[in-house]
Amino acid sequence: MFELLRGLSQQEFKKFGDFVRSPFHNKSHNIIKLYELLNKKFCSLQTKNISMEEISTHIYHEKSDDSSKIRSLTSDFAKLIENFLIQCEWEKNEIFKKTLLLTALNQRNLAKNFNTTLSETIEAQAAEFNRDEDYYYNQIFLEVESFNYELERSTSLSPENFSKISSNIDLFFIITKLNLLHFMYYHKQNITVEDDYGIWLKNDIIQYIENRKKLIKKEHPVIYMKYLIFMTIVKPESENYFIDLKNFLIKNIAKMNYDVRAYIFGALTNYCITRCNSGDIRYKLERFKIYQLMEKEEMFKTDKYINYIDFLNLVFSALDVKKIAIAEEYFSKYKDSVLPELKTDTLNLLKAQINYYKKRFDIAISSLNNISYGHYYFYLRAKMLLSRIYYELDDKEPIEYIIDAAKHYIRRNQKLTTQNAEFYLKYFIYLNKLIKLEPGDIDKIDDLIIELQNERTATGKDWLLNKLNELKLS
């Protein structure tokens, strides 16, 4: 029960009170009393659970030793929270609600109301730009309900009745399959594996879209964008897919809901990172421009707290193209919106990164010393930045200690996924090779550049390549 309560915001908990007091959803006065008790202490529920004795005294006016009665009450209360959460999710999908209403109207033979609701729903669907999975799922049920209505009232059915249902089933399959392909190929990119995952109908789906590209782009814009995203993943060397996706986003951004925009922005930034990791530093500027657009569109203001990774990447994207003033502007704007548990480490890491770019290395080191290192991300990012600072100071001895400590940490830390462990470990392995090179070792430098360019699983790859090229020219 307490875990469920912690999942509710204060506004949701207040709305839940209306749900509890509705006789349609709850007829137990003791449930209402329990809600009133919890309401008095809702703000402190994150840290303090109310005891069984306190519940017993408030509800039954006695300090009962019979825990089964209280457990039964709290169990019923928990089920009511679950029903409330289901109701909240159901209320988000207006078209799905309409399809359920159509079923009820058809079963009761309320033809006038059925036809009015059907016309309204078809009109709403036709005007929808964000044709995502929910859209096609709802469209299937809408067409099926319309089909059932006609089936009971007509002696003949036209082929169109069947083709509409079939077409929407195909489109629902295509969009869900594209989503799966995205995740599978992102995963494949980041691990050393040649397995093709046994992906069924991948080529057929791509061919289907490419044969109807003009129609898909016009009538199924989300599928079109997800097709472009997939092509940026499987053919990163072909920039035209990235350019088409970015231009389509900019042209239609006002029509897109938050989820669709966020998905596309994520794909665009991932592509930029892929190109940067391949040594194409032009995409640092592209990444910065995308984050600028995200900030302009207020993509970071939808929740109470900004995601710490989004905040870090926003500032890092500006620093990577030497836009220090803009990075500091972003820092000031969002510094008070970081989740409290991660705020100190996030802000200190950003302060250190900003001062590193300003070559104020002493201040950067001081900020890094204030990071708690409780979270592996902050520990490893801090060690990476510290190693870069000492590299700029031409002090190799501390770097060796940092590399040794980081390697031991990565191998011991069980919270790191295999993928993340490999990302960070490769950085320190290549850093170790870098600090052992001398400016005159041209052949060795060239060999390491080629090796690093072919490396798929190293973070900080662009910085390492930059330092190798600097060493080659020195």
**What tens-digit pLDDT sequence spans the chain (474 residues)?**
888 988 888 889 999 999 999 999 999 999 999 999 888 876 655 445 677 777 887 888 776 656 788 888 889 999 999 999 999 998 888 999 999 999 999 999 999 999 999 999 999 999 999 999 999 999 999 999 988 888 877 766 677 778 888 999 999 999 999 988 888 877 666 554 555 555 667 889 999 999 999 999 999 999 999 999 999 998 989 999 999 999 999 999 999 999 999 999 999 999 998 888 776 888 999 999 999 999 999 998 877 789 899 999 999 999 999 999 999 999 999 999 998 889 999 999 999 999 999 999 999 999 999 998 888 999 999 999 999 999 999 999 999 999 999 999 999 888 888 878 888 999 999 999 999 999 888 999 999 999 998 887 778 888 999 899 999 887
Q: What is the pLDDT of residue 459?
A: 86
State whether 135 and 107 are in the same domain.
yes
State whether 315 and 211 are in the same domain.
no
State whether 412 and 345 are in the same domain.
no
Last residue of a domain, one of 200, 218, 234: 234
State whether 41 and 159 are in the same domain.
no
Structural domain contains residue 279: no
- Separation CA 384–CA 461 (nearest Å): 12
State whether 26 and 111 are in the same domain.
no
Structural domain contains residue 463: yes
Nearest to 294 by CA among 267, 322, 324, 325: 267
Q: What is the pLDDT of residue 47?
A: 44
C-alpha distances in angstroms, 96 versus 151, 341, 348?
22, 38, 46
- Separation CA 114–CA 147 (nearest Å): 13
Nearest to 153 by CA among 194, 182, 114: 114
Cβ neighbours, 10 Å, residue 10: 9
Structural domain contains residue 422: yes
State whether 329 and 412 are in the same domain.
no
Q: What is the pLDDT of residue 170?
A: 92
Structural domain contains residue 277: no
Contacts of 160 (CB under 8 A, 6+ apart): none
Nearest to 37 by CA among 10, 55, 61, 18: 55
Q: What is the pTM of this model?
A: 0.78
Structural domain contains residue 292: no
Structural domain contains residue 253: no
State whether 198 and 325 are in the same domain.
no
Q: What is the pLDDT of residue 66?
A: 63
Q: What is the pLDDT of residue 339?
A: 87
Label residue 275 exposed, middle or buried (CB < 10 Å: 0-12, 13-18, 19+). Answer: buried
Give the tokens for residue 432.
Answer: 């170790």
Chain-centroid distance of CA 327 in Å reads 22
Structural domain contains residue 304: yes
Please give the angle made by the CA atoms of 127, 131 and 135, to the nearest 5 degrees: 95
Q: What is the pLDDT of residue 157?
A: 67
Euclidean distance between the first and final Cα of the chain, in Å? 65
Last residue of a domain, one of 234, 255, 289: 234
Cβ neighbours, 10 Å, residue 335: 16
Contacts of 242 (CB under 8 A, 6+ apart): 232, 268, 271
State whether 102 and 228 are in the same domain.
yes
What range defines the domain where residue 128 resides? 94-234
Nearest to 193 by CA among 456, 462, 452: 456
State whether 59 and 103 are in the same domain.
no
**Residues β-bridged to residue 306:** 338
Q: Are the C-beta atoms of residues 381 and 349 closer than 8 Å to each other?
A: yes
Cβ neighbours, 10 Å, residue 3: 8
- Separation CA 468–CA 452 (nearest Å): 10
Q: What is the pLDDT of residue 48?
A: 54
Structural domain contains residue 288: no
- Separation CA 344–CA 44 (nearest Å): 23
State whether 141 and 198 are in the same domain.
yes
State whether 81 and 98 are in the same domain.
no
Give the tokens for residue 201.
Answer: 């109908």
State whether 115 and 78 are in the same domain.
no
SS3 annotation, the chain: CHHHHHCCCHHHHHHHHHHHHCCCCCCCHHHHHHHHHHHHCHHHCCCCCCCHHHHHHHHHCCCCCCHHHHHHHHHHHHHHHHHHHHHHHHHCCHHHHHHHHHHHHHHCCCHHHHHHHHHHHHHHHHCCCCCCHHHHHHHHHHHHHHHHHHHHHCCCCCHHHHHHHHHHHHHHHHHHHHHHHHHHHHHHHCCCCCCCCCCCCHHHHHHHHHHCHHHHHHHCHHHHHHHHHHHHHHCCCCHHHHHHHHHHHHHHHHHCCHHHHHHHHHHHHHHHHHHHHCCCCHHHHHHHHHHHHHHHCCCCCCCCCECHHHHHHHHHHHHCCCCHHHHHHHHHHHHHHECHHHHHHHHHHHHHHHHHHCCCHHHHHHHHHCCCCCCHHHHHHHHHHHHHHHHHCCCHHHHHHHHHHHHHHHHHCCCCCHHHHHHHHHHHHHHHHHHCCCCCCHHHHHHHHHHHHCCCCCCCHHHHHHHHHHHHHC
C-alpha distances in angstroms, 264 versus 92, 132, 190, 218, 246?
22, 13, 20, 17, 8
Q: What is the pLDDT of residue 366?
A: 96
Last residue of a domain, one of 211, 234, 257: 234
Q: What is the pLDDT of residue 194?
A: 52
The number of distinct structural domains making up the chain is: 4
